Amino acid sequence: MQPEFSKIIDTDKLDEDVQIEKITASASERKALAKRFKIVAINSFSATIALNRETNGDVKVTGDIAANVTLNSIISLEDFETDINDSFKVIFTHSFKEDDGNIDINEDIEPLIGSKIDIGELASEYLALAIPPFPKKEGEKFAYKAIEPIDEQDNDSPFAVLKSLK
C-alpha cells in the first residue's frame, strides 16, 4: 500500500555529510492523511529532516514537524484549529535487535531493510503521535454534576440514587 505522503530517500547515496530534506504535504496528501488519522482536516504539514550516515552503516534521522490541524472538541463537539510542532530522532540499522540493553529512550530504533527510508511516512507517523487523543479547545472543561452518596434511609428502593440526579 502506497503511503499518503511519501518521499523515499536512498541511504546508499548518503555521504558523510548531513543531508537536509524539507518536505511539504500537498492538499491531496493532507486530505488523505486527515482521513487516515480520523481528524477533521490537516491545513498545513511540513517537516525538516536531517539524515546522517554513521560509520557503522546506521542512518540517524532527526526531524522537526510543523502542522496546523482542525480537530473536533470532545467537550463542545465544535471544530477548532491548533498548531502542532514536534521533533523526533530515529536510528535505522541493519543490525536491529529487539532488546540489546543499550537503548537510548530519547531515540527510536528501527530496522533498515534494504537501503530506502520513506521520510514522508516517517514524518506522518510522528504527526499522528503528536495529535491529542482527546482534543478540546483551550479553556474548555468537562462539566459534570457529582452524585451525592446514598442515604441509608433511602436504601429501600433501587431507584433511590436517581433522586440525587434532579
β-strand 41-53 against 59-72: which pairing, if any? antiparallel
CA–CA separation, 125 vs 34, rounded Å? 12
The set of cell numbers assigned to 43 is: 491545513
Domain residue ranges of the chain, discontinuous segments joined by +: 8-141
Please tell me whether the overall predicted TM-score, pTM, comes out greater than 0.95 for this model.
Answer: no
- Specify the residue for cell string 533498515: 112
Report the alpha-carbon angle 128-90-97, nearest 5: 115
DSSP string, 52-72: EE-TTS-EEEEEEEEEEEEEE
Q: State pLDDT tens for residues 59-94.
A: 999 999 999 999 999 999 999 999 999 999 999 998
What is the DSSP secondary structure assignment for residue 122, as one 8-state letter? H
Per-residue b or e along 73-97, where b marks 16 or more CB atoms closer than 10 Å to that residue's CB? eeeeeeebebebebebebbbbeeee
- Residues 129-144 have pLDDT tens digits of 999 999 999 888 877 7
